[in-house]
Structure 1
Amino acid sequence: MHIVADRDIPGVDTCFGEWGRLTRLPGREIDARAVRDADVLLTRSITRVDDALVADSRLRFVGTCTIGTDHVDQTALTSRGIGFASAPGCNAEAVVDQVLSSLLTIAEREGTELDERRVGVVGVGNVGGRLFQRLSALGIDCLCCDPPRAQAEGDDGYVDLDTLIALCDVICLHTPLIPEGRYATYHLFDDARIEALAPETWLLNAGRGECLDGDALLRRLSRRGDITAILDVWEREPDIDQALWQRVAIATPHVAGYSLDGKLRATHMIYTALADQWGMPKCHAFEELTPPPSLSRLVLDGGLTPWEALRLCVRAVHDVRRDHDRLALACRKRGMGAGFDGCRAGKVRRREFSTLTVELGADAADYASWLAAAGFSIHTSTIITDRKTP
Structure 2
Amino acid sequence: MAARKPKVIVTRKLPDPVETRMRELFDAELNLSDEPLSRDALAQALQRADVLAPTITDRLDADVLAAAGPQLKLIANFGAGVDHIDVAAANAKGITVTNTPGVLTEDTADLTMTLMMAVLRRVVEGANILREGGFSGWSPTWMLGRRITGKRLGIIGMGRIGQAVARRARAFGLQIHYHNRKPVSHLIADELGATYWDSLDQMLARVDIVTVHSPHTPATYHLLSARRLKLLQPHAIVINTARGEIIDESALAQLLTDGKIAGAGLDVFEREPEIKPELLAAPNTVLLPHMSSATVEGRIDMGEKVIINIKTWMDGHRPPDRVIPAML
Q: If the length of structure 1 is used for normalisation, what is the TM-score?
A: 0.66
| Alignment correspondent of 1:233 | 268
| Alignment correspondent of 1:46 | 57
Q: Give CA deviations for 1:241-286 in whole Å, capped at 9, x if unaligned.
A: 12212216100122211112111111111211121122189xxxxx
| Alignment correspondent of 2:89 | 76
Helix, strand or coil for the counterpart of 2:121?
Answer: helix
| Alignment correspondent of 1:251 | 287
Runs of at least 4 residues off by over 6 Å: none
Q: Give CA deviations for 1:43-82 in whole Å, capped at 9, x if unaligned.
A: 1111011233233323121111111111111112111111
Classify 1:21/1:272 alpha carbon distance in 2 versus 1 (closer, same or farther; 3 Å): closer
For residue 59 of structure 1, the aligned residue among 72, 79, 84 is 72
Q: If the length of structure 2 is used for normalisation, what is the TM-score?
A: 0.77
Once the 2 structures are TM-superposed, how far is the Cα of residue 26 of structure 1 from its aligned partner?
A: 2.7
- Is the aligned partner of 1:170 residue 2:209? yes
What letter corresponds to residue 22 of structure 1 in structure 2? E
| Alignment correspondent of 2:300 | 264
Provide the aligned C-alpha RMSD in A.
Answer: 2.4
1: CA distance, partners of 2:253 / 2:259? 10
**Where does 1:153-168 land on structure 2 (aligned, <5 Å)?**
157-159=195-197, 160-168=199-207
Higher helix fraction (1 or 2): 1
Helix, strand or coil for the counterpart of 2:59?
Answer: coil
- Conserved 8 A contact 2:119-2:264: no
| Alignment correspondent of 2:154 | 120
Once the 2 structures are TM-superposed, how far is the Cα of residue 152 of structure 1 from its aligned partner?
A: 8.9
Q: Give CA deviations for 1:177-233 in whole Å, capped at 9, x if unaligned.
A: 121xxxx21111111111111111111111111111111112212233542011111
Specify every segment of 5 or more residues in structure 1 that has no aligned partner in the other structure, as ranges.
Answer: 282-390
Classify 1:223/1:114 alpha carbon distance in 2 versus 1 (closer, same or farther; 3 Å): closer
- Conserved 8 A contact 2:206-2:232: no
1: CA distance, partners of 2:300 / 2:182? 29
Classify 1:194/1:21 alpha carbon distance in 2 versus 1 (closer, same or farther; 3 Å): closer
- Conserved 8 A contact 2:112-2:240: no
For residue 144 of structure 1, the aligned residue among 172, 178, 198 is 178
Aligned residues: 276
- Conserved 8 A contact 2:9-2:29: yes
| Alignment correspondent of 2:126 | none
Once the 2 structures are TM-superposed, how far is the Cα of residue 21 of structure 1 from its aligned partner?
A: 3.6
| Alignment correspondent of 1:132 | 166
Specify every segment of 5 or more residues in structure 2 that has no aligned partner in the other structure, as ranges.
Answer: 1-5, 123-143, 318-328
- Is the aligned partner of 1:193 residue 2:228? yes
- Conserved 8 A contact 1:95-1:257: yes
Helix, strand or coil for the counterpart of 1:230?
Answer: strand
